Structure 1
Amino acid sequence: MHVKLLDDRVAARAKARGIDVLVYAPHFTRLPDIRARAESFTDDDLLVVPAREVFTGPWHDRKHVLAIGLTDPVPDFITLDGAMAEFERQGAAVLVPHPGLLNVSLSTDEVRRYRDAVDAVERYNAKCLPSQNRAMRRVVRETGLPAFGSSYAHLRSTVGEAWTTFDDRIDDEADLVRALQESTPRRVMRRSGVDHRLRGLAEFAHLGYENTWQKLDRLLLSGMEPTHPAHIAYRGRFDDVAVY
């Protein structure tokens, strides 16, 4: 939990590294497309679970929230309250990725505010610097919520660098949602050593691209994103909580 890209090489790397379940949650992609791609890479050796990391709030103060087990599409750029209400309506598992990271994450106070709605908080993220991961551990410790770890892979080489091991068997999407919502015992695991650190630094460097050229392209060049709340696909359902 979770990766941003999915192809034959990603699936092969996950299997080679002993990953049984891969949560796939690419940016700016609608749920039906995510679900279809996840199904196409699921086989007897690897379950790929579709998910959405929803960008709540405006660009300058966006809060990422990861939802697993959605039945209906949820757009980006809606209020945090609006997103949480929709996740609850759908019965999805709600996770807080990279808490406290820059201006893209929930703060400790926000995690506390939504404590009853949040099922787990990220404790280790392979994309983040050591100081940032220490800050995440503090959020987990101070809120007392269950933890998870992830590669957060935007690059293929990062797949399998961090993972979460559950005590219960996970055979399908519903099993994963249940394990998260019922606080099934788990362990947050990661690799170590120079190779792990270098892969993490490459991921962190990619963050600069995401927040400069890619952001400019999203805002100015590409037109309306398929996950914009005003997109025709959402039929105006989120107009009352849209921030753009």
Structure 2
Amino acid sequence: MHVKALDENVVAHAKDRGLDALVYAPHFTRLPTIRERAARFSDDDLLVVPGREVFTGPWNARRHLLAIGLTDPIPDFITFRGALAELDRQDAAVLVPHPEMLNVSCSRADVAADPDAFDAVETYNAKALPPQNRAARDVVRDTGLPGFGSSYAHLRWTVGEAWTAFETAIDSPADLTAALRSETPRRVVHRTGLDHHLRGLAEFAHLGYENSWGKVDRLFLSGTEPTHPSHIAYDGRFDDVAVY
């Protein structure tokens, strides 16, 4: 339900793990680019669905939203409410990835304040530590929203460590969007054992690299990057909700 890496090795690994589909949602990449790459790596055995993990709010207090079924591009670093309004306008499936994780996610209070704004909450993330996954399950228990599971793979070998098994065929991006928005029954499944645990720890350690301030300052605050709200591609549509 959520991977950051996509190449021939990822596709082969996903097929070896018996997956039918991946949601490809790399950081700070515009929707047309994601769509093009997803289409390139989709075939009869593996569907790659384009998605966007939107960074809302300022860097030090950001809340992520995973959007599937977008019709139009949406930037990062816009307000939380501004992002939710835009995703609602597009009738996208709005998912809560890694809730209650550090400063990169929605809290239980965020979800409980407006549960109708969300379609599902992640209850198992291969990157998360056990207490974080327990906290995520508490969010689902308290709000009554459906759950989903994800490898959240930034590293290629983590693909297939966790997945979501739907009780319906998912043959297209539209099928997945519809299944999520209609609360189609599903099970959250993950691998177990030492190898699974070590792969998860490697992913968690990767957080330190991807969240370094130097990387953010270099890439995202100048206004010229692909998903910055002031980028020319957005034609000023998000100026009123931009936080940078």
TM range (shorter): over 0.9
- Find the aligned partners of 2:211 and 2:216 in 1 and give their Cα distance: 10
Checking the alignment, whether the CA contact within 8 Å between 1:218 and 1:225 is kept in structure 2 is no
SS at match of 1:116: helix
Which residue pairs with 1:205 in the alignment?
A: 205
Give the distance between the partners of 1:22 and 1:196, measured in 2 at CA: 19
Q: Aligned AA for 2:119?
A: D
Matched residues in 1 for 2:109 and 2:67: separation?
20
1:220 positional shift: 2.9
Asked if structure 2 preserves the Cα contact closer than 8 Å seen for 1:69 and 1:93, the reply is: yes
Letter in 2 for 1:76: D
Letter in 2 for 1:59: W
The residue aligned with 1:183 is 183
Match of 1:134 in 2: 134
Query: Does 2:153 correspond to 1:153?
Result: yes
| 8 Å CA contact 2:93, 2:181 repeated in 1 | yes
Matches within 5 A, 1:8-47: 8-47=8-47
Q: Which runs of 5+ in 1 are unaligned?
A: none
Name the CA distance, whole Å, in 2 between partners of 1:220 and 1:49. Answer: 29
Query: How big is the shift at 1:211?
Result: 1.3
Q: TM-score, normalised by structure 1?
A: 0.97
Give the corresponding residue for 1:60: 60
Q: Which amino acid aligns with 1:216?
A: G
Separation in 1, partners of 2:101, 2:115: 18
Identity of aligned residues (%): 70
2:214 alignment partner in structure 1: 216
Q: Which structure 2 segments of 5+ residues have no match? A: none
* Residue deviations 1:119-175 (CA, integer Å, cap 9, x gap): 000000000111111111111111110000000000011000000000000010110
Amino acid in the other structure paired with 2:12: A
Render the CA deviation track for 1:68-126: whole Å, top value 9, x for unaligned. Answer: 00010000000011100100111100000000101111111110122111000000000
Q: In 2, Cα distance between the equivalents of 1:221 and 1:85?
A: 26
Q: 1:134 to 1:22 in 2, by over 3 A?
A: same
1:240 corresponds in structure 2 to: 240
Q: Distance in 1 between matches of 2:141 and 2:114?
A: 16
Tell me if the contact between 2:76 and 2:229 (Cα under 8 Å) persists in the aligned partners: yes
SS of residue matched to 2:118: coil
1:92 to 2:92 alignment: yes
Q: TM-score, normalised by structure 2?
A: 0.97
* Letter in structure 2 aligned against 1:28: F
Aligned letter for 2:214? L
Residues 1:221 and 1:21: Cα distance change in structure 2 (over 3 Å): closer
- Measured against aligned partners, the alpha-carbon deviations of 1:180-223 in whole angstroms (never above 9, x if no partner) come to 000000000000000000000000000111112xx412313674
Bigger mean CA offset, 135-144 vs 64-73: 135-144
CA–CA separation in structure 1 for the residues paired with 2:186 and 2:71: 26
Aligned mates of 1:219, 1:69 — CA distance in 2: 30
**Separation in 1 of the partners of 2:192 and 2:218?**
40
User: Per the alignment, in what secondary structure is the counterpart of residue 70 of structure 2?
Assistant: coil
Contact 2:219/2:225, CA 8 A, preserved across alignment: no
Give distance in 1, aligned partners of 2:219 and 2:47.
35
Superposition deviation, residue 44 in structure 1 = 0.3
Which letter maps to 2:122? E
**1:77 maps to amino acid:** F
Distance in 2, matches of 1:66 and 1:220, equals 24
Give me the whole-angstrom Cα distance separating, in 1, the residues matched to 2:73 and 2:219: 24
Distance, in Å, in 1 between the alignment partners of 2:208 and 2:240 is 32
